[in-house]
Structure 1
Amino acid sequence: MVRLREGFDREFAALMEKLPPWVRKEVEPHGAKLEEIAMDLGAPLAYTVDGAPRFSEREITKEDLSFVLHRVGGFKENNRAGIEGTLHRVSRIQSALGEMTGITIRVGKFVEGVAEPLRPYLLESGGSLLVVGPPRTGKTTLLRDIVRILAERWGPRVVVVDTSNEIGGDGLTAHPGIRPARRMQVPDPPSRNQGRIIYQAIANHSPEVVVVDEIGYNEDVQECLTASRRGVRVVATAHGERLLDALENPALHPVLGEPDLREGRRRTRPSFGMALQVVAKGRYLVYPDLAQALDDLLQGREPEGVELSV
């Protein structure tokens, strides 16, 4: 059964407190169906409800943007901010002169059950898992529920490397939904530090599983390779519409067996035993044998996957 984890109402109320009163009045009635809010200077308020865009007649002003800025307490170097104790993400847009011109708010939700169809693959196969999917298909929501399932078996030996606090939420204490898994936060700028924190997780905390969101930057891919060679399972996400997109991303080649796209072969075994393609929210395509799926793609064949849904 798929359901919102208890506590969403409190977290949603915390988000509403950060919004200008008129914006809050516009979006609050949609509750858990609200997905995203876009506030662009001089443009109508835009927000997404159940995948459908909506617009208000009133336009965003500098005062509206300043209201949110002061309520969230500033932004990090990567132009993101969180709300302590919640999974919400607030991101800003700046002009060439550094002036704030827009804000995007993603409404974070811990949805239990979205990963249940994957339970046999997560607990019985014993292999690392690469999750591929485009934005807005629920990759991070899925990843949180994967952590929940893994933590049922391995508890604190599941370590989450939380790049932007999207998996475990903002603040010093991780969101209760991922406990008893442990969470290691990544300092700014994340792109230069994620690999270092993955290394520390492996070297210092004896994990059974390391969970990472959005690999493909600098040293993080190499550290995922190191983890697999040390017998540590890795669950990681990467951007892409399909598995083929990951194969054609040179940054991911070290963990995909160093494929040679022109010769149609790979030089080594991939670091991940399985792959999961997120087709849409609640719809997945599992490749239980990633090595075979990669070989099929390199030879111009469509790999066979297992379709799952919730």
Structure 2
Amino acid sequence: MKQIIRLFPEHYAPLLRKQVNWDITQEIRLRVNKALEVVDGNGVKTIANGVISSSDLSFVLNQVSQFSVYKFKEEMKEGFITIEGGHRIGLAGKANVNNSVVETLKNITFMNIRVAHDHIDNAKEIIPYLFKERKWLSTLIIGPPHSGKTTVLRNISRWIGCDNNFSQGAKVCIVDERSELAACREGIPQMNVGNRTDVMDSCPKAVGMMMMIRSMSPEVLIVDEIGGMEDASAVKEAVHTGVQVICSVHGQDLSTVKRRKDVGHLLEDEVFDRYVILERLKANSSYYLTVLDRQGKQIAQVKGEGNDGMVRGPNRLSRHNMGRF
């Protein structure tokens, strides 16, 4: 993870190389006068001899902002900056607020580096179940925090937006409100989201969905973590225009999402043709992606991370039955 290591003063480089398992690291947290903290699939640990001084954190901020905090003023209002490689740097300190709107951040003394992992085949085995009668199906990805929802959506975008074994690449539009799906930097996606994929970055989901429908004529619209009545209404309106919507939401299963006042009605109205239920990711442990049809009946269950094979389900996965469920 050279993009991250280069952000730190030189004496941190050997510590980060030796004490951090970059394959499973999720976050690196910096707090002035506290030890550098690493969050990974095994839990939380601190870096030995890695107490962050005020000058250390200032050094990292200068590297992140390319020595021009003003250049990233708008991003900083949202509390983060996206760097090369799609890594997202969360910022906290003193907020200058005017009429309930954050104008700028100053005295930044806390940082959270969210490490981006680009797993090519994360969604490979569920793709055939999202395609039927020569079209993609509107799909809701459901999972708790740290279940890989964003990664699955990103990889779905990649597969749909490129030619594959059973379909030509479709016109895909991503509305990336939090700059996590495509991780755009200066307008250019840092993540591979597909050859035919267009991105509206840092735009509220409800507004962005309608903008993309009007301006980019997508076949498939992808958004991350819908929440609130406005997002739900935009999803329903998009589906009614004939666009297939693939999005995610926080939840443990169908029942927990149905109970939500903001998005539950989308399930009651059967807006989605497919549901994909994710489990919380755990280090050195397989997890499963369960595919359900419109009525909530299980179609298949496949292994994620580290094993792309079918593990159980009523249908055998092959090129011969792709998209026929």
TM-score tier, shorter chain, comes to: 0.7 to 0.9
In the alignment, the residues of structure 2 paired with residue 89 and residue 118 of structure 1 have an alpha-carbon distance, to the nearest angstrom, of 27
In the alignment, the residues of structure 2 paired with residue 174 and residue 148 of structure 1 have an alpha-carbon distance, to the nearest angstrom, of 12
| Aligned 1:131-150 pairs, distance under 5 A | 131-150=141-160
The DSSP-based 3-state class of the residue aligned with 1:250 is coil
Equivalent pair of 2:118/2:191 in contact (CA under 8 Å)? no
Q: Which residue of structure 1 aligns with residue 55 of structure 2?
A: 63
What whole-Å deviation, never above 9, does each CA across 1:11-31 have from its counterpart, x for those lacking one?
x32222222334433223434
Equivalent pair of 2:126/2:291 in contact (CA under 8 Å)? no
Question: How far apart are residue 213 of structure 1 and its match?
Answer: 0.7
Question: How far apart are residue 32 of structure 1 and its match?
Answer: 3.1
Q: Which residue of structure 2 aligns with residue 169 of structure 1?
A: 183
Q: Which residue of structure 2 aligns with residue 216 of structure 1?
A: 227
Gaps of 5+ in 2: 70-74, 97-105, 308-325
Of 201, 213, 217, the match for 1:186: 201
In the alignment of these two chains, the number of paired residues is 273
Question: How far apart are residue 169 of structure 1 and its match?
Answer: 1.9
- Indicate whether 1:109 and 2:101 are aligned: no
CA 1:23–1:141: 2 relative to 1, 3 Å: farther
TM-score, normalised with respect to structure 2: 0.76
Identity of aligned residues (%): 25
Q: Of Structure 1 and Structure 2, which has the larger fraction of its residues in strand?
A: 2
Deviates more, 1:281-290 or 1:51-60: 281-290
The DSSP-based 3-state class of the residue aligned with 1:280 is coil
Q: Which residue of structure 2 aligns with residue 274 of structure 1?
A: 274
- Indicate whether 1:122 and 2:97 are aligned: no
Q: Which residue of structure 1 aligns with residue 209 of structure 2?
A: 198
Of 13, 24, 39, the match for 2:13: 24
| Aligned 1:92-103 pairs, distance under 5 A | 92-95=91-94, 99-103=107-111
Question: How far apart are residue 287 of structure 1 and its match?
Answer: 4.2
| Aligned 1:226-245 pairs, distance under 5 A | 226-245=237-256
Matched to 2:131, the amino acid is L
Gaps of 5+ in 1: 1-11, 258-268, 294-302
Matched to 2:8, the amino acid is L
What whole-Å deviation, never above 9, does each CA across 1:265-284 have from its counterpart, x for those lacking one?
xxxx2211111111134633
Equivalent pair of 1:43/1:60 in contact (CA under 8 Å)? yes
CA 1:47–1:222: 2 relative to 1, 3 Å: same
The DSSP-based 3-state class of the residue aligned with 1:99 is strand
Question: How far apart are residue 50 of structure 1 and its match?
Answer: 4.2
In the alignment, the residues of structure 2 paired with residue 130 and residue 104 of structure 1 have an alpha-carbon distance, to the nearest angstrom, of 29
CA RMSD of aligned residues (A): 2.4
CA 1:212–1:96: 2 relative to 1, 3 Å: closer
